[in-house]
Structure 1
Amino acid sequence: MGDGDDTSAAGSAEQLIADGVMDEEGVLAEPATITIATAAPTAFTIPLYMAAAGHDAFKRRNLTVKIENMPGTDSYPLMSTGQLDGNYSAPDVGMFNAIHNGADLAVVAPTQIQAEDAKDGLYCRVDDMGGKPFSWDMIRGKKIGSSQANRGVSMIQIVKNLKENDIPVTDVEVVQMSTADQVAALEKGGLFCGLIQEPITATVEEAGHAVFVARQMEFGFPNGSVAFGKSILRDHPERGYAFVAALAELYRDELQGEWLRGREEYFAELLGQPVDALKKMTTPIYSLPMEFPENYARTFDQTWRSWDDLLQYDEPLPEDKVIDQRFMDFANKLLARD
């Protein structure tokens, strides 16, 4: 969060309840709308699209959710000036640099965790392995594709794998490229490896041009987050409490166990995506109570410091400068009480 911003009494759930702005369940006294950005309608964004479709957990709290499709990198500047309420994405370098420079930005809730048997991850080109099983030494001097280049969440596991195999990140070129372009490049030889997510992974495996070599994320680390900007953190925190409380309720009531199975047609219609693609996916995990792993912000910070030109500051950001805990605390108390 920006300098001078904190969870003071004025923005606390207790004070907002006492002021009559919302009640103990996070129901808003007056109807409100919150606009959340996300890159595209994908399986990753199912909870957000359920919210926008008027799920009861949000409707009951007098909160309407609107979606603005844009990359996370484009949303953070708008969020910091109050032109956009939040995003459903993942932290990136620009967000951390902006927080350091005093911007009103914070992550407020985790999204999905990759299933333990998920196939999201690094796929490497078979023809470039010379008929041998994959080894990390093969990656030296090669290109890896990533939709966020080296500035996003997917670099956490890549950097960890490189370090464990004594390979400097400078020995690998990370190229910014859409998932669709990565798939084409793996076929034609423009990349050695690409970071591919389900359900597109099934297409890659069926084509046989590339094989899975490593997970995208360590099991238990969330793939993304909900983040808020100035309009929620400072101006209307009651809308943030309502949104995160409703999201936690949706996780609990709709997205536990093998929640995807048997509902693929509904979710395909919700997203405007082919139903067959969803049928090929493993079911993501929505963990409760809502919480981020220990040293969440530091993990990003340490990853990006592997390159000299990404972060604009020297000392790691404190966890409470990146995570605004009050919204999750409120939501978790409601879950524990029910």
Structure 2
Amino acid sequence: MIGNFARWRSFWAAASLIWLAGVAGPAAAQAPALAPLDPPQAVRVAYVPILKFATVYVAESRGLFKKYGLDVKLDTVKSGTEAIAFLDKGSVDVGGISIVASLWAAWNRGLDIRVIAPGALDPMKDGPTKFIVRKDLIDSGAVKTVADLKGRRIGGAGGPGSGAEYFISKALETAKLTIRDVQLMNIGNADLPAAIETKSVDAVLLSSPYSDQILKAGTGTLLMQDITPGLMTVAFVGSGKFVKERPEAAQRFVLAMAEAARLMQGPDYLSQPNIDAYMKYTASTVEGLRTGSPAVYDPNVAIPVDGLADLERVHRENGRTEYDKPLDMAKVVDTRFVTKAIELLGKAPTN
């Protein structure tokens, strides 16, 4: 224990000196020249193979984990729920997961995992999630604003506690309505265009390509977009064992992720090394990558704690949790690794 503490203290001392030396010059935006851990430390990561976790693919493929003395192994899982089970057992160190309603109850009961870095964020403008109303209701004047949806049937994938319910709830809040003021219908994304066409629903919440299908067919009209700009619905979480017993490895993991995010900004998002990384760890195609709308990868890897608290609030107020008081975000988030990473790297400009 004493030896671990000494190594940890030496790491911070050396890192702080490097940061202070470079903060005044151009090197402040570059990664600090930290010596790799010797011997390298193994870190096991469970992830769902989607692009929202792309920072970990880039960090691994471009040698950033190795640079900081980490031997990272990426294991695919079918769902975030599976990853959480592995994290809870301590058989993996980090998981890429979606923040779903059931997690709040688990955290409230003492689930020992913490958000240590963000996944992709929703764009600030022209985001993929759209709230679409049947065109005939718009044309007749029956629906002019969100307020006119009171009592109407709204389709979304996932049902109670889902991401769709959260987005619909946030849209309804703009008209001082709640999810209880509408009829929420659980319909798969692929079936939502038909539901609009057959008039079995009045409005839908969905993303591309299904939203594009409705708008192109002329059966629906866009009512609202960019409902929650900058929202984080996926995150990298560390097991309690990992962040408590190996904080030096956790710190370097987050540092590599921050450096990866900086290699994914603007046109660099589709640089060949990055495309190779995306292709290696997901089922993406080059055409899909080049024509699709990229997600947002914050170069400062900030964890939007206020956004997480809002997610929890909406799920709680919708009755999707087993408790009724706000959850302490200290049970959910550990920001110390992100904070130190940005101290070391310097803060990057954002658009």
Same fold, judged at TM 0.5 (above): yes
Contact 1:153–1:300 under 8 Å retained in 2: no
| Alpha-carbon distance between aligned partners in 1 of 2:77 and 2:93, rounded to the nearest angstrom | 13
Map of 2:123 onto structure 1: 115
Map of 1:135 onto structure 2: 145
| Alpha-carbon distance between aligned partners in 2 of 1:176 and 1:239, rounded to the nearest angstrom | 42
> What does the per-residue CA deviation read over 1:106-164, in whole Å, with 9 as the maximum and x for residues that have no partner?
111122233333341134253563635653223633132134x3425554443232122
> What does the per-residue CA deviation read over 1:15-49, in whole Å, with 9 as the maximum and x for residues that have no partner?
553488xx8438333334433333333x3232233
Match of 1:246 among 252, 256, 260: 256
Structure 2: stretches of 5+ with no match in the other structure: 16-33
> What does the per-residue CA deviation read over 1:273-332, in whole Å, with 9 as the maximum and x for residues that have no partner?
233333333333322433233534421222112222x22223212222211112212211
Q: Is 1:237 aligned to residue 237 of structure 2?
A: no
Map of 2:91 onto structure 1: 83
| Alpha-carbon distance between aligned partners in 2 of 1:156 and 1:16, rounded to the nearest angstrom | 44
| Residue 211 of structure 1: how far off its partner (Å) | 4.1
Map of 1:5 onto structure 2: none
Map of 1:56 onto structure 2: 63
| Alpha-carbon distance between aligned partners in 2 of 1:158 and 1:327, rounded to the nearest angstrom | 33
Contact 1:122–1:216 under 8 Å retained in 2: yes
Contact 2:172–2:178 under 8 Å retained in 1: yes
> What does the per-residue CA deviation read over 1:39-86, in whole Å, with 9 as the maximum and x for residues that have no partner?
333x3232233244x322112122323132222234323322223333
Match of 1:213 among 218, 223, 237: 223
Contact 1:195–1:216 under 8 Å retained in 2: no
Greater percentage in helix: 2
Contact 1:99–1:321 under 8 Å retained in 2: yes
Change (3 A) 1:18 1:194: same
| Residue 249 of structure 1: how far off its partner (Å) | 0.6
Map of 1:104 onto structure 2: 112
Q: Provide the secondary structure at the position in 1 that maps to 2:85.
A: helix
Give the stretch that moved more between structures: 161-170 or 129-138: 129-138
Change (3 A) 1:201 1:267: farther
| Alpha-carbon distance between aligned partners in 1 of 2:183 and 2:344, rounded to the nearest angstrom | 46
Change (3 A) 1:185 1:47: farther
| Alpha-carbon distance between aligned partners in 2 of 1:36 and 1:216, rounded to the nearest angstrom | 31
Q: Which has the larger radius of gyration?
A: 2
* Structure 1 segment 122-271 matched on structure 2, within 5 A: 122-124=130-132, 126=134, 129=137, 131-132=139-140, 135-136=145-146, 137-138=148-149, 140-147=151-158, 149-153=159-163, 155-176=165-186, 178-182=188-192, 185-186=195-196, 191-198=201-208, 201-215=211-225, 217-252=227-262, 254-261=263-270, 266=276, 269-270=279-280, 271=282
Give the stretch that moved more between structures: 235-244 or 99-108: 235-244
Map of 2:8 onto structure 1: 17
Match of 2:47 among 38, 47, 54: 38
| Alpha-carbon distance between aligned partners in 2 of 1:16 and 1:195, rounded to the nearest angstrom | 51
Supply the AA of the counterpart residue of 1:247: M
| Residue 194 of structure 1: how far off its partner (Å) | 4.0
Change (3 A) 1:109 1:262: closer
Equivalent residue pairs, number: 323
What TM-score does the superposition give when structure 2 sets the normalisation length?
0.76
Q: Is 1:29 aligned to residue 51 of structure 2?
A: no
Q: Among all aligned residue pairs of Structure 1 and Structure 2, give the percentage whose two residues are the same amino acid.
A: 19
Change (3 A) 1:109 1:143: same
Q: Provide the secondary structure at the position in 2 that maps to 1:131.
A: helix
Q: Provide the secondary structure at the position in 2 that maps to 1:305.
A: helix
